[in-house]
Structure 1
Amino acid sequence: MLGNAPRELPLTTAIVLTPSFSMIALTSAVEPMRMANRLSGKTLYDWRLITVDNEPVPASCGIEFRPTATLEEASGFSTVMVCAGIEIYNFYSKTLDSWLRRMDRRGADIGALCTGTHVLARAGLLNDYRCTIHWENLAGFLEEFPEIEVSTELFEIDRNRFTCSGGTAALDMMLNVITRQHGYELAVQVADVFTHERIRDHHDHQRMSLPARLGVRHPKLLAVIALMEENLEEPLSRTGLAREAGLSTRQLERLFRKYLNRSPARHYLELRLNKSRLLLLQTNMSVIDVALACGFVSASHFSKCYRDFFGRTPRKERGLPPLADLDEHQTS
């Protein structure tokens, strides 16, 4: 799939769907193949949808997709994609792991869409490979797989492995694959039909720029916020932030009040709490470990701040029975 045009057409792809998979990632991967077939007048690509138990599986939006082939029927395919979504942390299949490793031994190109990267990592198929995952899932992935090289790129193609960050990143990844296999002209035609005005490469950013996300363009304010985002585990002091930006603490306070209607401390706290929520939902880290990873000195202080901001305790976020703050600190 990932090099030059295959010797035999069509190139066959098995797309494994896990419960609550990302439908936008699936369609962003499938539609470029369909359009390449249509525009070329040839069947360049063929694909089948697979589920582990051969039963229909719902996307994260609730729409069900039925499989069009079984795992065994797809065992001769040249390419495998695992498409996952928000529930991947609750999904594990020994059957799927074994099948993926068998496909690897047979020489298939193996990849992931969105959080499918987790499935490949758990199966041991990303060892010594570079990969990527959606920015929301990056912190949790790093905690679970610290030995795997993961980037913040839009997508990664490393030899016979390919991963993308989810959403429309799958569209750009597939357009790059079409370019490699069948030429830039066809890829541009596909992008044009989809009114996709530019084919992004893997170095493009996953996230919108800070100015676009915040609606702010003040360079010193943006520099401070970037510093905050880079230092969540060991928060910098207000004085340290001001010094790095060449501001006085009073000027720093005024900038945040003027442009964001909040104090620097409040903005910093919200960044840390939002990261903590992702870790609670995406990892098995204890509450105290999540607290420390997000710059809180104790589970009790973390729990209070979390409850004040989200309206529920960290334990309740995970669906666990509530405990007193002191008990939570002792048992985490």
Structure 2
Amino acid sequence: MDNSHITPDGIHDLRVTTFGFLLVKDFSLIGLSTAVDPLRIANMVVGRKVYTFKLLSQDGQAVTSSDGITVVAEGSIADNEVFNTVFVVGPNPIPQTRNTAITRWLHYQDSKGAALGGIDTGSYYLARAGLLDGYRCTIHWEDQDLLVERFPKLIVTNRLYEADRKRYTCSGGVAPLDLMVHLLSQPPGSRNLGSRVLELLVAEKRSHEQRQRASLRQYHGSELPKLEEALQLMESNMEEPLSIAELATYLAVSVRQLERWFHERLNKTPAQAYMEIRLLRARQLLYRTAKPLEEVCASTGFVSTTHFATKYKAQFQVSPIADRKLYGTRL
């Protein structure tokens, strides 16, 4: 190797690290790409192939992503090839049936000392295998309630990613990029390698402390700090909703001013926005958990199932029970 390319940060002295990515049918294609591309870019920065990765499927055959795009696998989990780190790239939605082959494979990799990771819903497979017990973990916000419901002893956060000892989990979308940049910056990586990768990907560094954003705040809140705060209060108080007067008091503004902001930015009243937030949360619980209707009502601040069903049908043009059944037929 040309010594003139060696930098003081030790980037060019890295040892080879291997990654295995298990693709589950209907996996997240963007999750996969934002996980493997940082490794490719890191190899460019280093000047040699220090990060190798292999795409796997359960049977070695090609796998179709949730986008409908088929990806060719390079190996099968039956090969029992051992990696330094393995990731399950999870599907959307999560299948209801248990996959014992994946569970056995994860236990095998763990027994050989591999670090285990989950991308998007991949952490569900680690949890089902009992391999997240005692570790902090995260998952896409849509499936957070399901993970907590099925595995109540887990330490589940709403962060973009978690890297707790030899367990690496992240939410969906482009969060795998944040996780991989973090891993590239840790031993056996280099302190500056992650920054170099971000620079080449024209991306910005996000801390794992950053929360997943999944509401009206993402689209409208940043336009006005007080509006974002109001939406935050609504999201944090669904089981026992605040009155609009209470919201205004917390924000130290008049009710009239609060109504003006909502009308100008969202074209709706604060009460309408609050109801929408609660109903969207209820729909998420109906889709992603097995909670009975009464429990969904209580979790979103409705005192009766009749009132809830009326508001739900007005919002989504379908009753809660019928909507849950329709969603189930699409799985």
Partner of 1:328: none
* 2:195 counterpart of 1:185: no
- Secondary structure of 2:162 counterpart: strand
Question: What is the Cα deviation at residue 212 of structure 1?
Answer: 5.8
Question: What is the Cα deviation at residue 28 of structure 1?
Answer: 0.7
Task: Write the distance in 2 (CA, Å) between the matches of 1:218 and 1:192.
Answer: 30
Shifted more, 110-119 versus 140-149: the winner is 140-149
Structure 1 residue runs without a partner (length 5+): 322-332
Q: How does 1:131-142 map to 2 (within 5 A)?
A: 131-142=137-148
Partner of 1:245: 251
Partner of 2:71: 65
- Secondary structure of 2:314 counterpart: helix
Task: Write the distance in 2 (CA, Å) between the matches of 1:94 and 1:296.
Answer: 40
* 2:170 counterpart of 1:164: yes
Matched to 1:191, the amino acid is L
With a CA cutoff of 8 Å and minimum separation of 6, indicate the structure with the bigger relative contact order: 1
* 2:56 counterpart of 1:79: no
String of CA shifts for 1:93-135, please: whole Å, max 9, x gaps: 0111122122222221001111111111111111110112223
1:67–1:271: structure 2 CA closer, same or farther, 3 Å change rule?
Answer: same
Question: What is the Cα deviation at residue 22 of structure 1?
Answer: 0.8
Partner of 1:127: 133
Matched to 2:99, the amino acid is S
Partner of 1:194: 201
Task: Write the distance in 2 (CA, Å) between the matches of 1:191 and 1:255.
Answer: 37
Q: Report if the CA contact (8 A) 1:216-1:259 is conserved.
A: no
Matched to 2:227, the amino acid is L
Q: Percentage identity across aligned positions?
A: 38
Partner of 1:330: none
Question: What is the Cα deviation at residue 211 of structure 1?
Answer: 6.4
String of CA shifts for 1:136-192, please: whole Å, max 9, x gaps: 333333333332112222211100001111222211211221122332333333222
Task: Write the distance in 2 (CA, Å) between the matches of 1:72 and 1:113.
Answer: 21
Question: What is the Cα deviation at residue 248 of structure 1?
Answer: 4.2
String of CA shifts for 1:65-115, please: whole Å, max 9, x gaps: 232111132442221101113221435301111221222222210011111
- Secondary structure of 1:296 counterpart: coil
Task: Write the distance in 2 (CA, Å) between the matches of 1:305 and 1:216.
Answer: 28
1:56–1:289: structure 2 CA closer, same or farther, 3 Å change rule?
Answer: farther
Q: Report if the CA contact (8 A) 2:35-2:177 is conserved.
A: yes
Shifted more, 169-178 versus 84-93: the winner is 84-93
Q: Alignment length, in residue pairs?
A: 316
Question: What is the Cα deviation at residue 262 of structure 1?
Answer: 1.3
Partner of 2:7: none
Task: Write the distance in 1 (CA, Å) between the matches of 2:279 and 2:146.
Answer: 14
Shifted more, 212-221 versus 125-134: the winner is 212-221
Partner of 1:109: 115
1:309–1:99: structure 2 CA closer, same or farther, 3 Å change rule?
Answer: same
Q: What TM-score comes out, normalization by structure 1 length?
A: 0.85
Matched to 1:142, the amino acid is V
Q: What TM-score comes out, normalization by structure 2 length?
A: 0.86
Task: Write the distance in 1 (CA, Å) between the matches of 2:138 and 2:326.
Answer: 31
